[in-house]
Amino acid sequence: MTRIIKLQHTEIAGCIFVDKIAGLNTHTPEYGQRGCVEIYEEELDRKLYTVHRLDKATSGALVFATSSEIAAQLTQAFEQHKVEKKYLFLTDKKIARTEFTYESFIQKEKNVFVSRDTQEPNSKTSFKWVKALGPYQLWEAVPHTGKPHQIRLHAEANGIAVLGDSDHNGTNHFRLCLHSQVLGFELNGQKVRYETPLPGWAEDDFTADPEEQILTEAFQRRERMYKFSTLTDECLRLAHRELDTYRIDQYGEYLWVYWYKESDPTVQDLLRFEKIAKKYHKKILVRKMLNRGEDPNAEVLWHIGNTASRWQAKENGVIYDLRSDTGLSPGLFLDQRENRLWVKNHAEGRSVLNLFSYTSGFSVVSALAGAREVCTVDVSQNFIEWSKHNFTINGLDPEAENHEFWVQDCILFLKGTIRRKRKFGMIVCDPPSFGRSKNGVFSISKNFDELLINCMYCLQKDGLLLFCTNYEKWTTGDLHLRLNKLKKDFSFKILPAPAQGLDFELPDQEPLMKSIILRKN
């Protein structure tokens, strides 16, 4: 299982250029939160050097050096204003002038950057009007100096405050519409220039529809990070928490919309989805997410395009069988992508137990990675048969001696395993927050201790336990506190779980899906 879904970057002359997304700090703002440089260092497995910064809310061209020597040269180039920089921004303000240059003195006062035109200038920006886009005006800004918030302050001072810049009198918007489009400089005799694609709000088809603006931004964020338009067979999330009403996943040629609003999609909603389908050449299925207690197989589904009830898609090259006629989800939870990669990297030679297996994505990657044995447990016969099919389409024999499938309550299975004194080298436990079976009701809040204790008894020394939960009332911190209570009975080390992909939460957002890894001492 090779990582195919990779963060995009461009390397030129010892420099790493990235198209930074809005909402991501240039570097870590505080312990435990990764910034852009830390994320790309991890992705590329190499040291990167920060030579300039973009505000958290600003998107676009950002450069890192790959050595201290190049970093020194680039830092000097920025300090001496020998770097070509061009920004685009959107405003809802109109002024008579179309081109001008502005200078001021910028300094920090009481933790806020302010601009004064009564002192000797230390900052200079040239502005040029580009075009009107509906009710908005698109401007180009070229900063000749590099003071913090320079463009934002100078735009405000000239009556064209940036849309979304609430700190500097800009009209409220879902994002700051400021984008670094071009970086250029000369390095060791070589001319280097990096230019990003236009942001969605700078394109001619930019719409005044607020929801469509947010969707455009969400899709472009994934395009800038992963270039998802080229990953036509792969799976990733295209809209996560940008809108409360729904989330959108790409499953190969299909887009799957989880609809959370109590009322059905309106004609306008469906037309918006149809527009997306045409733009990205996708078929769309819209599934209304029912309240607990309602029939999970109820036909609350809208189709756009010539859809089928069964199809296949890939995640990092592994094939999965997807279905629109079985339950509320198509058969693969994409928020587990990084965890599946972690399991793949640690499963070789181990005996792996996959509890609450659903359609067995963790079992498939374990078997493909060379696990000594893979034991799959779920209370649903239907999901077990689905799991076996996922084995088959990936060239694995579900009937092989080292592949076990059990239709059983997971806690009962663990108790039986303890009686048989069987141990596993890795356990994956991804329980539902709530579930019913013929054996009773499972609730993660009530059954957590019992579940974890039984898992630990079934884990061999130096064995690994990956535990995940989407329980909304717990944070990652709550999960750590509950695990620490078990240390009186078991000796284990808590290891960092893989960070969620950036198609889900940003580093400073509490993830909906919480994960933790334990190594038994």
Question: Could you tell me which residues come within 8 angstroms of residue 230 by beta carbon, excluding any fewer than 6 positions away?
Answer: none
- Please determine, for residue 295, whether its predicted confidence score (pLDDT) is greater than 80: no
Question: Could you tell me which residues come within 8 angstroms of residue 56 by beta carbon, excluding any fewer than 6 positions away?
Answer: 22, 23, 24, 25, 26, 29
Compute the distance between CA of residue 356 and CA of residue 367 in angstroms, rounded to an integer: 17
DSSP for residue 488: G
At position 89, the amino acid (one-letter code) is F
Compute the distance between CA of residue 376 and CA of residue 391 in angstroms, rounded to an integer: 11
Choice between 32 and 287, residue whose per-residue pLDDT is larger: 287
- Please determine, for residue 297, whether its predicted confidence score (pLDDT) is greater than 90: no
Q: What percent of the chain has pLDDT over 70?
A: 97
Percent helix, strand, coil in the chain, to 5, is: 25, 30, 40
- Please, what's the largest Cα pairwise distance for the chain? 83
CATH topology of domain 210-323: Transcription Regulator spoIIAA (3.30.750)
How many Å from the N-terminal Cα to the C-terminal Cα in the chain?
A: 29
Choice between 487 and 514, residue whose per-residue pLDDT is larger: 514
Superfamily of the domain at 10-202: Pseudouridine synthase (3.30.2350.10)
DSSP for residue 28: -
When pLDDT is cut at 50, 70 and 90, the band that residue 97 belongs to is very high
Tokens of 79: 């300090």
Q: How many helices and strands, by DSSP H and E, does the chain display?
A: 11, 27
Q: Is residue 123 within 8 Å of 114, Cβ to Cβ?
A: no
What average pLDDT does range 85-98 have in this prediction? 97
Compute the distance between CA of residue 163 and CA of residue 42 in angstroms, rounded to an integer: 33
Compute the distance between CA of residue 130 and CA of residue 89 in angstroms, rounded to an integer: 10
When pLDDT is cut at 50, 70 and 90, the band that residue 298 belongs to is low
Structural domain boundaries of the chain? 10-202, 210-323, 334-520
Matching residue, tokens 């009322």: 263
What is residue 240's three-state secondary structure?
A: coil
pLDDT tens, position by position, 61-82: 999 999 999 999 999 999 999 9
DSSP for residue 516: E
When pLDDT is cut at 50, 70 and 90, the band that residue 292 belongs to is very low
Compute the distance between CA of residue 511 and CA of residue 97 in angstroms, rounded to an integer: 46
Task: Kindly compute the dihedral angle of the four CA atoms of residues 22, 16, 65, 178, in this order, to the nearest 10 degrees.
Answer: -30
At position 361, the amino acid (one-letter code) is G
pLDDT tens, position by position, 145-159: 999 999 999 999 999
- Which helix (H) or strand (E) covers residue 444, if one does? helix 444-457
pLDDT tens, position by position, 354-409: 999 999 999 999 999 999 999 999 999 999 999 999 999 999 999 999 999 999 99
What average pLDDT does range 232-250 have in this prediction? 95
What average pLDDT does range 474-485 have in this prediction? 86
Structural Rg of the chain based on CA atoms: 26
Q: What's the Cα-to-Cα distance from 21 to each of 29, 54, 158, 318, rounded to whole Å?
A: 16, 10, 27, 28
Superfamily of the domain at 334-520: Vaccinia Virus protein VP39 (3.40.50.150)
At position 23, the amino acid (one-letter code) is G
Compute the distance between CA of residue 202 and CA of residue 396 in angstroms, rounded to an integer: 48
Compute the distance between CA of residue 26 and CA of residue 258 in angstroms, rounded to an integer: 32
Compute the distance between CA of residue 70 and CA of residue 68 in angstroms, rounded to an integer: 6
Mean pLDDT of the chain: 93
When pLDDT is cut at 50, 70 and 90, the band that residue 291 belongs to is low
Query: Which pLDDT value is given to residue 74?
Result: 96
Tokens of 110: 């009481």
How are beta strands 373-378 and 351-355 bridged, if at all? parallel
Question: Could you tell me which residues come within 8 angstroms of residue 316 by beta carbon, excluding any fewer than 6 positions away?
Answer: 1, 2, 3, 4, 5, 234, 337, 340, 341
286 Cα distance to chain centroid: 21
Tokens of 124: 């200079």
Compute the distance between CA of residue 383 and CA of residue 281 in angstroms, rounded to an integer: 30
pLDDT tens, position by position, 163-199: 999 999 999 999 999 999 999 999 999 999 999 999 9
Count the alpha carbons within 13 Å of 354 in the hemisphere toward its beta carbon: 30
Q: Is residue 50 within 8 Å of 64, Cβ to Cβ?
A: yes
What average pLDDT does range 451-472 have in this prediction? 94
Specify the range with the lowest mean pLDDT, choosing from 52-66, 373-387, 456-470, 480-494: 480-494
Query: Which pLDDT value is given to residue 117?
Result: 83
